[in-house]
Amino acid sequence: TQLLEQSPQFLSIQEGENLTVYCNSSSVFSSLQWYRQEPGEGPVLLVTVVTGGEVKKLKRLTFQFGDARKDSSLHITAAQPGDTGLYLCAGDDTGNQFYFGTGTSLTVIP
Amino acid sequence: DAGVIQSPRHEVTEMGQEVTLRCKPISGHNSLFWYRQTMMRGLELLIYFNNNVPIDDSGMPEDRFSAKMPNASFSTLKIQPSEPRDSAVYFCASSLTGMGTDTQYFGPGTRLTVL
């Protein structure tokens, strides 16, 4: 059973479109992170959110932590081919266990 | 900084053989993680060390898997005997403190194929 479910699992969009990726759980998390992984490489941290309702922006990427700290979203504005990759959410639950989500594979077509 | 170093990058072996994966964490980091990534199961945490001591090995699949961290700059993950279902990419990551808000820095991974 996956503690962190991501949706959609696969996403293919045209350059310039907007998209949102979701990370959901029935458990409460002390903090939540988003990573991006490119083919043949390890994941790289994009952002960490720790407060319920927190919103962080990283250029065209907007991350939100749910008010109840059970979910998060990643919104990309005007997607670029360089945004292509596997997006993973990861959370530290209140029992100090760390989990990665199921992943969303994004392809941005030029 | 060289980042997390893993070796080998690729390993092809036959069922029943022993496989040893190696990891050198970033200097000064106190926590080290071993992960396995497959299409079916995604990225799974196998074991986590803090100050060279195994803290949580609940993700280790079975007794065929073992991990050691003899010092702060080296860790191994051993599979004996290996089976085809062990085929995956194995990642090592390190972080400064191991806390959930800490950044984990991943190595490039070892792609293991067991025939």
**pLDDT at residue A94 above 70?**
no
Say whether A31 and B101 touch across the interface (CB within 8 A).
yes
Contacting residues of A for B44, CB less than 8 Å apart:
100
Q: Is B107 on the interface with A (CB under 8 A)?
A: yes
Q: Is there a cis peptide before residue B108, judged by omega within 30 degrees of 0?
A: no
Nearest to A88 among B4, B43, B108 (CB): B43
Interface subset of A 5-44, CB within 8 angstroms of B: 29-31, 33, 40-44
**pLDDT at residue A66 above 60?**
yes
How confident is residue A84, by pLDDT bands cut at 50, 70 and 90?
A: very high
Could you tell me if B76 and B24 are in contact, meaning their C-beta atoms sit under 8 angstroms apart? Answer: no
Residue A5 tokens, joined: 């479910």
**pLDDT at residue A1 above 60?**
no
The reported pLDDT for the residue numbered B91 is 98
Q: Which residues contact B39 (CB under 8 A, 6 or more apart)?
A: none
Could you tell me if B94 and B105 are in contact, meaning their C-beta atoms sit under 8 angstroms apart? Answer: yes
The reported pLDDT for the residue numbered B62 is 83
Which of residues B43 and A96 earns the better pLDDT score?
A: B43
Classified as helix, coil or strand, A83 is helix
Which residue on chain A is closest to B109 by alpha carbon?
Answer: A42
Q: A14-52, pLDDT tens digit by residue?
A: 999 999 999 999 989 989 999 999 999 999 999 999 999
Which residue on chain A is closest to B43 by alpha carbon?
Answer: A100
Q: A48-65, pLDDT tens digit by residue?
A: 999 999 999 999 999 999
The reported pLDDT for the residue numbered A93 is 79
Nearest to B91 among A42, A92, A99 (CB): A42
Residue A72 tokens, joined: 């998060």
**pLDDT at residue A106 above 90?**
yes
Closest-CA distance, A15 to chain B, in angstroms, reads 26
Q: B32-78, pLDDT tens digit by residue?
A: 999 999 988 889 999 999 999 998 888 898 899 999 999 999 999 99
